[in-house]
Amino acid sequence: MFSPKLFCMSGSSFLFLKSIKCILSSSCHGQNTISNTLAAQYISKPQKQLCETVLKYFDRQYSEELGEQWWNARDVLLNPLSWQYGVLLNRFSDLTNLKQCLAELGYTNLLQQTHPESHSQTADIPLQCFIHPDPVRIPTQSHHTGWLKQYYLLNAASLLPVLALNVQEGENVLDLCAAPGGKSLAILQTATPGLLHCNEVDQHRHDWLLKTLESYVPPSLRHLLSVTLQDGRSIGTMQPGAYDKVLVDAPCSNDRSWLYTPDTHRGEMWLKERTQLPLLQKELLCSALAAVRPGGIVVYSTCTMSRAENQSVVEEVLASYPGVELQELEQQFIDSLSDHFCFAHLHPSVGQLVIPQKGKTWGPMYVSQLKKIY
Give the burial class of 81: count Cβ atoms within 10 A of its Cβ; 0-12 exposed, 13-18 middle, 19 or more buried. middle
Asked whether 372 and 292 are in contact (CB, 8 A), the reply is yes
Q: Which of 340, 351, 369, 265 is nearest to 304 (CA)?
A: 351
Annotated ligand binding at 180? The verdict is yes
Which of helix, strand or coil describes residue 211? helix
In this structure, the number of other CB atoms found within 10 A of the CB of residue 220 comes to 8
Annotated ligand binding at 22? The verdict is no
Three-state SS sequence of 310-321: CHHHHHHHHHHC
Q: Which of 154, 222, 164 is nearest to 192 (CA)?
A: 222
Annotated ligand binding at 175? The verdict is no
Annotated ligand binding at 249? The verdict is yes
3-state helix vs strand vs coil in the chain, percent to 5? 40, 15, 40
8 is catalytic: no
Annotated ligand binding at 94? The verdict is no
The residue count for the chain: 374
CA distance 283 to 287: 6
Annotated ligand binding at 335? The verdict is no
**Choice among 101, 252, 303, 342 that is catalytic:** 303
Annotated ligand binding at 178? The verdict is yes
Annotated ligand binding at 11? The verdict is no
Dihedral over alpha carbons 144, 145, 151, 156 (to 10 degrees):
100
Through-space distance between the first and last CA atoms of the chain, rounded to whole angstroms? 39
Q: Which of 292, 284, 291 is nearest to 371 (CA)?
A: 292
CA distance 244 to 155: 26
Asked whether 133 and 156 are in contact (CB, 8 A), the reply is no
Asked whether 162 and 186 are in contact (CB, 8 A), the reply is yes
Q: Which residue numbers are catalytic?
A: 303
Q: Which residues are annotated as a binding site for S-adenosyl-L-methionine?
A: 177-183, 200, 231, 249
